[in-house]
Amino acid sequence: MVRSARRPLAVLASLACVAVAFAAPAQPVGLVAGFFEKGVEARLKAPLSRTDLFDATALRVVLCGTGSPMPDPARARACTAVIVKGKAYLVDTGPGSVNTLQLMGFPLDRIAGVFLTHYHSDHIGDLGELRMQTWVSGRTGPLPVYGPEGVARVVGGFNAAYALDDDYRTVHHGESYMPHAAAALAAHSFDIGEAGDRVVYKDADVTITAFAVNHDPIKPAVGYRFESGGRSIVVSGDTAPSPNLVKWSHGADVLVHEALSTRMVGIISRASTAAGLDRQAKMVKDTLNYHTDPVDSAKEANAAGVGLLVYSHLAPGLPQPALEKLFIDGVAAVRDPKAWVVGFDGLRVDLPYAGGAPTQSKVAMLGR
């Protein structure tokens, strides 16, 4: 359902690396070096920052982590990038997501802030790596991290854990390149109050609203709605079916919604019990009560009048394409197949400010 749109030079770089892999055993090292050099040159001549991704004609979303805590060789854990003109905002930064962004060639100096939905490890695990890599990429001040109550504790922990690394890099590269004062994360805590929602960031280009979702017993847990130039993107965070999510998704152009197949997770749980893995069976079964099945997500999208539903944070993983059929079984019966897509790392969706339906493409990644 998604059209692949790889950029020629990025493909050239990838193909050069593949050529090296096949040629290396039989070719002189000089020839291998030549392949490598051409591949690097091709990629550096066409950085993602110079493409239409940041041309300010559309509100955009790029999935940088569509996996869950369950293993998936092709997916990082939770991460969604929302691009507003020249800036990018990340919703969560799960383990592996920074590596995925770098495989895309994503310009990390464009990241203007991080918005955390809650503090499970698969949503915050790469915060330290993001901290370091955005600093290396040229960040000149602390990186803002927004989140509900608890964000100061999380941010303080990462700042403390990376303090020695900060010292090393400033001494090694120099204060002019790695200014010590710019290394840190800066916590911005908010309270959604009794109403269950609050505008947590606003400037001339975008309004970002946080709203409560149902991830009980994990509290607080929120989703986010991004509004810019008459277009809107909602990111659900982790949640069971939630009336407040439906409310805040009303009329959204895109809803990026977590998805857990109750059927597939049930199979894993029963198989674990049969194998005598009682601890694993319990841990897996416990996930069923605070996530949303793909069919239920589709019903929520219908109720909210959402344009395009994008499944992300997929549990379990889908290491084989054939498993996708089982994962989305029943969705087509409740929602038009043209109005939803199973997300993957690198999926890009554009919402032109001039109007029109969302368009889908794929950001090329080295080795994938």
In a domain, 164, yes or no: no
pLDDT of residue 195: 84
My answer on whether 40 and 60 are in the same domain is no
Residues carrying an active site annotation: 122
My answer on whether 70 and 15 are in the same domain is no
Decide: 68 and 95 in contact? Cβ < 8 Å: no
My answer on whether 26 and 109 are in the same domain is no
My answer on whether 37 and 94 are in the same domain is no
Question: If you average pLDDT over residues 150-171, what whole number do you get?
Answer: 98
pTM beyond 0.95: no
My answer on whether 3 and 72 are in the same domain is no
In a domain, 157, yes or no: no
Q: Is the pLDDT of residue 111 over 70?
A: yes
My answer on whether 105 and 87 are in the same domain is yes
Rounded to 5 degrees, φ, ψ at 360 are: -115, 145
- Reported as a pLDDT band with limits 50, 70 and 90, residue 46 is confident
pLDDT of residue 42: 86
In a domain, 67, yes or no: yes
- Reported as a pLDDT band with limits 50, 70 and 90, residue 50 is confident
Closest CA to 249 of 228, 225, 229: 225
Q: Is the pLDDT of residue 320 over 70?
A: yes
My answer on whether 20 and 105 are in the same domain is no
Q: Is the pLDDT of residue 10 over 50?
A: no
Q: Is the pLDDT of residue 15 over 70?
A: no
Q: Is the pLDDT of residue 16 over 80?
A: no
What residues make up the domain containing 28? 1-46
- Reported as a pLDDT band with limits 50, 70 and 90, residue 339 is very high
Q: Is the peptide bond before 220 cis (omega within 30 degrees of 0)?
A: yes
In a domain, 75, yes or no: yes
Tokens of 173: 């590269």
Q: Is the pLDDT of residue 350 over 50?
A: yes
My answer on whether 40 and 59 are in the same domain is no
Residue 110 belongs to domain with CATH number: 3.60.15.10
Q: Is the pLDDT of residue 336 over 90?
A: yes
- Within a 13 Å sphere around the CA of 345, how many CA atoms are in the beta-carbon half? 32
My answer on whether 25 and 72 are in the same domain is no
Query: Of all residues in the chain, what percent are helix, strand and coil, respectively (each to 5)?
Result: 40, 25, 40
Q: Is the pLDDT of residue 178 over 60?
A: yes
Q: Convert 114-133 to b/e letters by CB count within 10 Å (16 or more is b).
A: bbbbbbbebbbbbbbbbbbb
pLDDT of residue 5: 37
pLDDT of residue 21: 52
DSSP assignment of 164-227, as one string? HHHHHHHHHH-TTTS-GGGSSEEEEEE--TTTTEEEEEE-SS-EEEEEE-B-TTS-S-EEEEEE
Closest CA to 82 of 185, 245, 249, 232: 232
Query: What percentage of the chain has pLDDT greater than the value 90?
Result: 83
DSSP assignment of 229-262, as one string? TTEEEEE--S-BS-HHHHHHTTT-SEEEEEEE-H
Q: Is the pLDDT of residue 72 over 90?
A: no
In a domain, 193, yes or no: yes
**H-helix or E-strand spanning residue 123:** helix 121-124
Q: Does residue 320 or residue 262 have the better pLDDT?
A: 262
- Reported as a pLDDT band with limits 50, 70 and 90, residue 147 is very high
My answer on whether 3 and 95 are in the same domain is no
Q: Is the pLDDT of residue 110 over 60?
A: yes
- Count: domains in the chain: 2
Q: Is the peptide bond before 148 cis (omega within 30 degrees of 0)?
A: no
In a domain, 17, yes or no: yes
CA 323 to chain centre: 22
pLDDT of residue 340: 98
Q: Does residue 146 or residue 70 have the better pLDDT?
A: 146
pLDDT of residue 349: 98
My answer on whether 287 and 328 are in the same domain is yes
pLDDT of residue 3: 36
pLDDT of residue 118: 98
pLDDT of residue 194: 82
Q: Does residue 351 or residue 72 have the better pLDDT?
A: 351
My answer on whether 260 and 293 are in the same domain is yes
pLDDT, tens digit (0-9, with 9 covering 90-100), for 293-319: 999 999 999 999 999 999 999 999 898
Decide: 93 and 132 in contact? Cβ < 8 Å: no
In a domain, 149, yes or no: no
CA distance 304 to 300: 6
In a domain, 182, yes or no: no
- Reported as a pLDDT band with limits 50, 70 and 90, residue 276 is very high
User: Among 41-45, 258-262, 303-307, which is the least confidently predicted range?
Assistant: 41-45
pLDDT, tens digit (0-9, with 9 covering 90-100), for 27-40: 789 899 998 899 88
CA-CA-CA-CA torsion for 171, 173, 175, 181, nearest 10 degrees?
A: -80
pLDDT, tens digit (0-9, with 9 covering 90-100), for 86-103: 999 999 999 999 999 999
As a whole number, the mean pLDDT across the chain is: 92
- Reported as a pLDDT band with limits 50, 70 and 90, residue 7 is very low
- For helices 97-104 and 127-136, the axis angle rounded to 10 degrees is 30
